[in-house]
Structure 1
Amino acid sequence: METGTMWRETSALLCAAIFLVAGCSKKGDAGENAAGSDPSIGVAECDEYIKKMDAFLADLPEEARSARAKGFQAMRDAWREAAKTPAGKDSLKATCKAQLDTIGATAPAK
């Protein structure tokens, strides 16, 4: 299997796992950026996805928002770490584009 393909598949699985864990979590706040004041990842597709998810999470009741926020923050942190390399950015571009393409099924896009 090609390394790029393996990285994309692994990234997609990681994102799915984070969202599954987030549904079980009861702590955290949506929109908080524990990694610093700059919420951007540095990959346009990821930044757009985060913007849409922040808007979606902001409209949820507190209990539902806090249940998802910890996993969403973990995903942001993982994406920010992956974006530190050119190969990571390339992989994230595909992963985040796929997430954007399916956001309507998981969250009403704003």
Structure 2
Amino acid sequence: MRQATSKVGALAAGIAGAVLLVGLTAANAQSTGVAACDEFLTKYDACVGSKIPEAQRATFKTQIDQTRKAWVDMAKNPSAKATMEATCKQTMDATKASLTAYGCSF
């Protein structure tokens, strides 16, 4: 009986952790309103969360949070928003190469 209880407890803890992770991901997933930018941010978040060693994740997350904020702010300006698609595609291409070393592909 004790073993069954500990398995249920472990399952509940795992589910709670998954729910928390989804909540954090949703909070970080603020849309820029530009498809190419949102696609890059989503792929980058997935890569960092699953491939980057834990000891280095904070650095990567800080960088992407700063990029996301800058892009969200840029998208508020209609003339800047018009150029963002190309900027985000260039950023994705440049970042792709550096993240392949971690096993990320996008």
Shorter-normalised TM range: 0.5 to 0.7
Query: For the Cα contact (< 8 Å) 2:29–2:42, is it kept in 1?
Result: no
Q: Which residue of 1 aligns with 2:84?
A: 92
Q: Higher helix proportion, which one? A: 2
Query: Equivalent residues in 2 for 1:1-110 (5 A)?
Result: 39-59=30-50, 60-107=52-99, 108-110=104-106
Shift of 1:86: 1.5
Q: Structure 1: which 5+ residue stretches go unaligned? A: 1-31
- Note the C-alpha offset of 1:52: 0.8
Which structure has the greater CA radius of gyration? 2
Deviations 1:3-57 (A, max 9, x none): xxxxxxxxxxxxxxxxxxxxxxxxxxxxx57xx6652110000000001100110
Instruction: Provide TM-score, normalisation by structure 2.
Output: 0.63
Scaled by the length of structure 1, the TM-score of the pair is 0.61
**Number of equivalences:** 78
Asked whether the equivalents of residues 41 and 76 of structure 1 are also in contact (C-alpha less than 8 Å), the reply is yes
Q: CA RMSD in A?
A: 2.2
Task: Provide the identity percentage.
Answer: 34
Higher RCO (C-alpha 8 Å, min separation 6): 1
**Contact 1:103–1:109 at 8 Å: present in 2 too?**
no
2:37 maps to amino acid:
C
Residue 14 (structure 1) aligns with? none
Gaps of 5+ in 2: 1-23
